Amino acid sequence: MRYSALTTRIAGEGSDAWVVHDLAIARRDAGEDIIVLSLGDPDFETPQFIRDAAVRSLGNGRTHYSLMGGEPHFRQAIAEYTSRTTGLVIDAAQVTVFPGAQAALFAVAQCLFNPGDEVIVAEPAYVTYEALLSAPGAHMVQIPLRPENRFHIEPDVLARAITPRTRAVLLNFPHNPTGACITAGEAAAVAALCKEHDLWFISDEVYAALGFGTPHLSPLSQPGMMERGVMISSLSKSHAMTGWRCGWAITPTEMAQHLRYLVRASLFGVAQFIQDAGAVAIGSHSDDLEQIRASYQRRAQTVVDALDGVPGVSARMPDAGMYVFADIRGTGLDGKQFARALLDAEGVSVTPGEGFGPSGAGHVRITLATSEERLREACARVARFAAMID
Ligand SMILES: Cc1ncc(COP(=O)(O)O)c(C=O)c1O
């Protein structure tokens, strides 16, 4: 039987990032002592007050079809939260609710791009971008975030990548996998380029609430950017809610209407009780949420300290997020070789930097979704492994 061309375009993307992880899970499930640091899923339980809210909502019979763009009270809560945290003035009419940031990104790409359009993405990059941009036939044009520049965006490099076919720039700060943030100067330069070339700007901000000191800066808070801007976020990382599938896109109001049609044609809404719990989650200043953020910061510091002095390995404190992106070039191995051999020798799985793009070469991503004690144990194993190959 025949399949559409789309199935070929979206297949197999980012597989380099998953090989070691899949092996690690198989070995762990077979009973081996494997420390899995290769998946961005928080180890925390969703805070109790959010689970309670969902249960209450279920008890109240909130189990029916929801409005296509999202329930009004949740959209309002998202608009208020975003206005408070970014300084932008966001109206609920600009918000469309999706089952996670991933679905929001997919829908946005469907609404904005035609076959042959170019979208500039800074790599290393979150592995699903290529597939979701390929779905409508767009072409992902990669620009490097260089380790020598601490994986910060270089506006002159971005400027050189713009062609008459460029339709948008898609950036993700705080950044997965490197933990870098964007500075005000960089954001202003990127904004100027988007305006000069009349480009859409898609800002994936799923790690915005997990900052380690530097206040989060949305590139969309630059003057005039929301007219051409799409902000993507979710409760997955900040609220330990990956499995709930609760995210959103904030766009110009006209685009929100297009997104609603797309939701109607595909998802047909997000469960009411999830949105009710989401509204409670996003409207609260609970200590639980601060504990999640602070834990990632402590864990990042633990890993950076524990890797200090390990031959061939160096790790910098990230600005935000739930990953440490360790430089292993000094070992003489590339990221794929290092990750594979580390799993074989010591039973620790990390993600090869090459899986996120060429500029991630010679690095590995260490996910911080494990206790400090376990992370210390993992780093001790890394040290033993590095000493062996030294
Ligand atoms: C940069 C980035 N964007 C989007 C997502 C998807 O998040 P969600 O669970 O909200 O779909 C992830 C998940 O790892 C991510 O790292």
pTM here is: 0.97
Give the pLDDT score at 49. 96
Ligand 1 atom 7: residue of nearest CA? 101
Contacts of 96 (CB under 8 A, 6+ apart): 69, 70, 75, 104, 107, 248, 249, 251, 256, 259, 260, 263
Q: Are residues 226 and 369 in the same domain?
A: no
Would you call the peptide bond into 174 cis, given omega within 30 degrees of 0 as the criterion?
yes
Taking Cα atoms as reference points, which of 95, 89, 57, 54 lies closest to residue 76? 95
Ligand 1 surroundings by CB, under 6 angstroms = 40, 100-102, 126, 172, 176, 204, 206, 234, 236, 242, 247
Give the pLDDT score at 284. 87
Q: Are residues 195 and 342 in the same domain?
A: no
Separation CA 202–CA 259 (nearest Å): 14
Number of domains in the chain: 2
Q: Are residues 58 and 99 in the same domain?
A: yes
Q: Looking at residue 220, which CATH number applies to its domain?
A: 3.40.640.10
Give the pLDDT score at 13. 61
Q: Are residues 144 and 259 in the same domain?
A: yes
How do strand 323-327 and strand 247-250 relate by DSSP bridges? unpaired
Q: Are residues 359 and 304 in the same domain?
A: yes
Whole-number Å distance, alpha carbon 206 to ligand 1 midpoint, is 6
In what side-by-side order are the strands of the sheet with 118-123?
Answer: 95-98, 247-250, 229-234, 200-204, 166-171, 118-123, 139-144
Q: Are residues 223 and 254 in the same domain?
A: yes
Whole-number Å distance, alpha carbon 5 to ligand 1 midpoint, is 25
> Best substitution site from 13, 97, 176 to test ligand 1's pocket, by max atoms within 8 Å of Cβ?
176
- Give the bridge partners for 123, in sequence order: 144
Separation CA 106–CA 99 (nearest Å): 11
Whole-number Å distance, alpha carbon 329 to ligand 1 midpoint, is 27
Give the pLDDT score at 18. 85
Q: Are residues 138 and 278 in the same domain?
A: yes
Range of the domain at 248: 48-282
Select from 232, 252, 282 the last residue of a domain: 282
Q: Are residues 307 and 267 in the same domain?
A: no
Ligand 1 atom 13: residue of nearest CA? 40
Q: Are residues 68 and 137 in the same domain?
A: yes
Q: Are residues 314 and 361 in the same domain?
A: yes
Give the pLDDT score at 60. 98
Mean pLDDT per block of 10 residues along the chain (390 residues) reads: 92 76 95 95 95 98 97 98 95 98 98 98 96 96 98 98 98 98 97 98 98 91 96 97 98 98 97 98 90 97 98 97 98 96 97 96 98 98 93
Whole-number Å distance, alpha carbon 126 to ligand 1 midpoint, is 8
Give the pLDDT score at 214. 79
